Amino acid sequence: MSAPEELARENIDGLLSAAGWVLQDRDAFDRSASLGVAVREFPLSTGFCDYLLFIDGKAAGVIEAKKTGVTLSGVADQSGKYMGALPEHLARWHDQLVFDYESTGEETFFRNMRDPKPRSRRLFAFHRPETLREWLLQPDTLRGRLRSMPALVETGLRDCQIEAIKGGNGHKGLEPSLAEDQPRSLIQLATGAGKTFTACSFSYRLIKEAGAKRILFLVDRNNLGDQTLKEFQNFHPPGAANRFTDTYIVQHLHSHRLDPDAKVVITTIQRLYSMLRGKDLEPEDEEESAFEKWERQDIEQPPLEYNPEIPIEMFDFIVTDECHRSIYGLWRQVLEYFDASIIGLTATPSKHTLGFFNQNLVAEYPYERSVADGVNVGYEVYRIRTRVTEEGGTVESDAPGFQVPVRDKRTRKVRYENLDADLDYQGKDLDRSVVNPNQIRTVLQTYKDRVFSELFTDRTGEWLPKTLIFAKDDAHAEEIVHAVREVFGEGNDFAKKITYRNTGEKPKEMIKAFRVDPFPRIAVTVDMVATGTDIKPVEVLIFMRDVKSEGYYEQMKGRGVRTIPDSDLKAVTPDAKTKTRFILIDAVGVSETKKNASQPIERKPTVSFEALLEQIAMGRRDEDAMSSLAARLAALDRKLGDEDRARIAEATGGKTPRDLANALLDAIDPDKQLEAIEATHGPMATPEQESTVVKHMTKTACQPFDKPTVRNLLKDIKQKTDIVIDEITTDELLSADFDLKRAEETVTSFRQFIEDNRDELTALQILYNQPQGKQRLTYAAIRELVQRMTDPPLYLTTANVWQAYKRLDAAKVRGAPVDDQLTEVISLVRFALGQVDTLEPFAAVVEQRFNLWMGREKKGGRDYTTEQEEWLRAIAAFIAANAEIAPADFQEVPSLADKGGILKARQLFVSRFDETLDELQTALVA
C-alpha cells in the first residue's frame, strides 16, 4: 500500500473512531464487539472490500477507500460490486448491503440503497452506528416518505405561503423539491409575507408526515430567535388539537447544550460554530447583524473538525433565515458539516444566494407583488440634503486659546485640546472621526418642520408617526437620541436608543414598547432592529447612515413595509387612520449610492485593521497587505495624543505608528530597496544578494507585529480612537423633497401599460375608443383591468399610480382613491388619456354627475320625492363603487336590501324603474 493510501486509511480510521465505530482487522474479526464494527479488508465474493460495516452484528454497509485527490463520482460503481456479493453464511440485514460510502479521508460520499433513487451525497464525516441502526429499523427512508406526503391543508395560509410549500405560479414549491432529493431549496417571500409562519407550517409537516428527527432554524441575531420561538409557540397547525409547542419541543439555544428531545432548535450560526469548536461565545457576537459585519471584514474562521457531541446527522433539515452573504463564505462550513437538506428563506435574493442554492428557487413572491396583493404597503423617498452632509466642514485651529472638544469613543469622556492644524472633513467622515451636532439637528429639525406639512398632511400634528432612525454606530445613535429629545422638546420617553450595547433598559422590552405602546415615538438603532424585527406601526424610516449591501438595505427598508389593522395602528398613533405607505427619509444618499449586490462572491472586501495585524503576524508578506497596514497605522498616528504614542513606542522599542508605517512602506518601495542593496553589496549585487536584502527589510518591518502585546495595544488604541466634536460649523438645509424619479417611472409604466393593452382589455377599448357619454363599463371589465395592472412585472396599483401623479403635478390631483374600490381606476385612465383635466376620486365624479342629472330631470319636469331621492343616492353610491347595478343587487346589498329591496324600488318608481336605472348608469359612468 502506497503512502497516500496509508494516509487516507489513517484519516478514515480516525473519522470512524470519532463517530463511535470499533475498528478491526479481518484476522481479529468480532462482529459483536460493539453496536458498530468496521472490519478492514473483508473478503467478499467479488474481492476484498476496504471496510465492511456491521450494525448489531449484521453486515449493513461498505466503505471504498481511495487516496487523497481521487475523484469519487465513479468510485460508487466500484463499491457497488460489493453490495450484493456477501458470503453465503454471513449475518446480514438484507440480501444486499444498504449503506454505501466512498472516502479519501478528506472527502466522503454516501448513499442509502433504500432511497427511491439512491444518489451519492457529500458528507463531512461518517454517520454513527446508532443512526444507521435506527434507519435500518424504519419501514422506509426519509427521502421515501418525502415522496408520499399527504395533501397540504391550506386553511389559514395565504396564497403565497401555499405556493411556497406545494408549488404554483411557475415554481415547483418546497415539498416537490425535497421529494426530488434536491439538497438545497430557496424560498423568496417578501418581508411581511409570513416567512416564519410558512416555516412553521412546513416544519410541522416535515416532522409529523415525513418523520424528520430534528430541524435546525438559523436566525441572523439572537433577538430574532426570540421572535421565531414566539411564532412556533403561537402556531396552531390546521386540524391539530394543540399548538406546535404543546406537541413538540422547540429549543432556543442560550447555552451550548442541545436538548436531545427537541424537534426544532433555534440559534444563530455564530453560536453553532462555537459549539462545534467547543469554544465560548460572547453575547454581543449574537446581537450584531451579520449582513454587513461579515461582508466588510476579511475574516477567516478556523476549519471545523468532527465533534462527537454534535454528529453530522443531528439535523435532517436546516432552515436559514435570512440568507445573507456570510452564509456562503464565512459560515458555509457550518452548514456543510451536517448531513441535512438546506432550506433558505429570504426576502431579497442576490445572485450569490441563488448560486449557493443551485439556482433552485422553489417559490418567488417579490415585494412589488406583495404590495399589489395588499400584504405590504408601498413607500416614497423623501430626500434631505444639508450643506455639511454634502460638502463637509472645517474645524479651524487658529483661534488663540480656543480649544476643541474631543471625545474618547470607548469611554465617551470629553477633553479639550488645541488642534495643530485646521481639520477639514468630508460628509463621509461625519460620525466616524467628526461629530457635528448642528448637522444632526438640521436633519431632525427639517423632519419636524415637514412631517405634518408635507409628509402626513391628514394628521392632527399631535402624534408623530412611529419613526425608526438608522445610525452608523452606538456612539452616533447616542448623539442622535439626545438631539431628537432636544429638537422635539420632549422627555426621555419620546425617543429611545435600541442597540445591543444599551445597558440601561432591556432591548427586548424596549422593542416591545416601540411596537405596542404610544411611547417611544422614535427609536434609534444601528442594526438591532434593522433586520427581521417585526414593528408594524412604523411609518417613517430615517437613514442617517449609508449602506453598501443591497440585501441589508432591502432588509432595513422592510422594517416599514408591514401592513397593520387600523385599530392596532390607532392604539399607538391615535390620529392615524390607515397605513397605506411608509416614508423613507434619506439624509445621506443611501437611495442613490451603488450597492454591492452585483459584486462577485469571490471578491475580497476591505480587510479590517485587526485582521491585517493578525495576517502579518501569521506571515503574510504581499505588497497589498503591507501597504494597507501602513496606511492604517499612519491614519491612526494622526489621531493619537502624546500619551498613546508613548505607550506604543514603549512596546515597540521606540517606534511610533508612523515609524512602523514608514518601515513597511520602505520594505516595498523599489527605490528604498535599491538604496539598501547598494549600501550593503554595492552596485553589482547578485540577484541572490538583492533577494536577501529585500527579505531582511520585510522581516524587520513586520517583526514588531510578531509580539501579541504590540498587536493588542494597537487594537485597543484603535478601538478608542477619538471623535472630534465640531461645534463651530453651522449647517443649513439645501433641499428637502420627495424623490420624483420613482414617480416618473411609475407614471411612464402606467401610460405604457395603457398603450400596450388598448386593444386587448375590454375596459381600455371602451375608454380609449368611445367618447364620454357612451363609455358603458362593466364591473368584470374593470376587475380584469386592475388585475392585469397588478400582475408581474409591473405590479401597478391604483394607489401608487395616483400618488405618483400627485407628486408630479399636485395642482391637478384632488383627494385620494378609496382603498379596495376598483372603479377608482376609471378616473386614473381618463386622466392619463387626457379626457379629464383633474384626477379625483371616482365617487366625487359620480356625485357631480348625479347632481347634474338631477338638475336635468327637474328641467324635464320629473320631480322626485324625498324618499325617491334617498333611493337614487343609494343607487348612485353603489354604481360609484361597482360601475353598474343589476336587479339582483337590490336583494344582496345591505344599503338597498334594508330599504325594502327590489319590490320597494319598483313600487317607488313604478313603470320607469328599468329606464331610470339605465339612464342613471349612463349619466354617472359613461
Helix (H, G, I), strand (E, B) or coil at 844: helix
Residue 297: per-residue pLDDT: 43
pLDDT at 638 over 90: no
Could you tell me the pLDDT band of residue 908, with boundaries at 50, 70 and 90? confident
Here the cell at position 910 is: 313604478
pLDDT in tens, 521-543: 999 988 666 555 778 999 999 99
- Residue 505 cell numbers, joined: 433598559
Q: What is the pLDDT of residue 333?
A: 86
pTM to 2 decimal places: 0.71
Check pLDDT > 70 for residue 500: no
Tell me: pLDDT of 290 over 60. no
Q: What whole-number percentage of the chain has pLDDT above 70?
A: 87
* Residue pLDDT, tens place only, 887-901: 888 888 888 888 888
Residue 43 C-alpha cell reads as 473478503
Answer for the pair 312, 123: CB distance below 8 angstroms, yes or no. Answer: yes
pLDDT > 50? residue 296: no
pLDDT band at 605, cuts 50/70/90? very low
What's the pLDDT score for residue 316? 98
Cell 320631480: give the residue: 863
CB 809 within 8 A of CB 834: no
> Residues 543-579: pLDDT tens digits?
988 877 777 777 788 888 888 899 999 999 999 988 8
* Angle between helices 779-790 and 824-832 in degrees, nearest 10: 70
The predicted pLDDT at position 327 comes to 62
Cis peptide bond upstream of 887, omega within 30? no
Handedness of CA 763, 765, 769, 774 (dihedral sign): negative
Alpha helices, DSSP H, located in 791-865? 798-808, 824-832, 842-859
Which of 119-133, 209-223, 354-368, 636-650 is the most confident on average?
119-133
Angle between helices 762-769 and 740-757 (to 10 degrees): 90
Predicted local distance difference test score (pLDDT) of residue 412: 59
Q: Identify the CA nearest to 106 among candidates 67, 139, 146, 140.
A: 67
pLDDT of residue 528: 66
Which of 371-375, 739-743, 779-783 is least confident?
371-375
**pLDDT of res. 420:** 57
Contact 541, 584 (CB under 8 A): yes
The answer on pLDDT for 273 being more than 60 is yes
* Predicted local distance difference test score (pLDDT) of residue 600: 24
pLDDT higher than 60, residue 735: yes
Query: Which residue, among 476, 475, 533, 531, has the nearest Cα to 508 in the 3D structure?
Result: 533
What stretch of H or E contains 167?
A: none
pLDDT band of 244, cuts 50, 70, 90: very high
How many C-beta atoms lie closer than 10 Å to residue 496's C-beta? 24
The confidence score (pLDDT) of residue 317 equals 98
User: φ and ψ at 355, to 5 degrees?
Assistant: -65, -45
Residue 617 has pLDDT above 50, yes or no: yes
Query: CA–CA separation, 219 vs 660, rounded Å?
Result: 42
DSSP state of 118: -
Residue 698: per-residue pLDDT? 94
- Which of 150, 151, 175, 148 lies closest to 164, judged by CA? 175
Give the C-alpha separation, 801 to 804, whole Å: 5
Cβ atoms of 472 and 497 within 8 Å: the answer is no
Q: How far apart are CA 551 and CA 291, in angstroms?
A: 8
Task: In whole angstroms, give the CA distance from residue 751 to residue 755.
Answer: 6
Name which of 205-214, 245-254, 282-291, 906-915 the model is least confident about.
282-291
